[in-house]
Structures are given as structure tokens and as C-alpha cells.
Amino acid sequence: DAGVIQSPRHEVTEMGQEVTLRCKPISGHDYLFWYRQTMMRGLELLIYFNNNVPIDDSGMPEDRFSAKMPNASFSTLKIQPSEPRDSAVYFCASRPGQGIAYNEQFFGPGTRLTVL
């Protein structure tokens, strides 16, 4: 398995533009998580899905952020409009719903977002 896949790896955009980050979880994993990492705030959970359904989006900073999971193999995190303070590394992670690795979350390589 290729692990969690994220695209793009790097994104540079201008303030006000729409940004879409993409994630492909590990096949068979029932849970998908979106995190944001900054020096100031560390790793923050933004939202997570179970079987494609959003369960907890209380970490989403504001209405400019939205996330979808149209099927078990794809999720997007959209920022519209983007602002310089959104600059961060965004990680997607997934975990199985059962089994030995029940609790372990597997992280993708991250998308480094820079908003100018």
C-alpha cells in the first residue's frame, strides 16, 4: 500500500484565492482526519470522518474552511477565500476501524500551504 496520499505537496497562492487540498486514505481505513500544523499552535485536529460522514468539525477555524469526503477513497479540504494566516502544513491521516492497529493514525506527507 502506498500509504496516505496527499496533493499537492506544496501550494503557493495569493490572498483571496480558493485552495483545495486533496487526500487519499489507506484503502480499507474507515476514519479520515485533517490536521493543521503551525509553529505557534502545533498539530490541530480540524475535522474527521467515519465511513465518509463528518463526525466532528469543531476544530475547523471558521466558515472559510470546508471539508468533504464523497467516497471512501477521497477527501478534500477547501479554503475560500484564503488568508495569509492559513499558511501551514496540512496533514491528512487515516486509521482502520478495527484490528490491531485500531488506534494508530497513519499520516500523509502533508501539504505545505503558503498564502501571500
Partner 1 sequence: GENVEQHPSTLSVQEGDSAVIKCTYSDSASNYFPWYKQELGKRPQLIIDIRSNVGEKKDQRIAVTLNKTAKHFSLHITETQPEDSAVYFCAAIEYTGNQFYFGTGTSLTVIP
Nearer Cβ to partner 1, position 81 or 109?
A: 109
**Closest approach of partner 1 to the CB of residue 49, in Å:** 10
**Closest approach of partner 1 to the CB of residue 57, in Å:** 13
CB 50 within 8 A of CB 31: yes
Nearer Cβ to partner 1, position 74 or 106?
A: 106
Nearer Cβ to partner 1, position 42 or 70?
A: 42
What are the CA-CA distances from residue 73 to residues 11, 52, 81, 88 (Å)? 22, 9, 26, 24
Residues that bind partner 1 (CB under 8 A): 31, 33, 42-43, 45, 48, 50, 55-56, 91, 95, 102-110
Nearer Cβ to partner 1, position 48 or 65?
A: 48
**Closest approach of partner 1 to the CB of residue 81, in Å:** 28
**Closest approach of partner 1 to the CB of residue 48, in Å:** 6
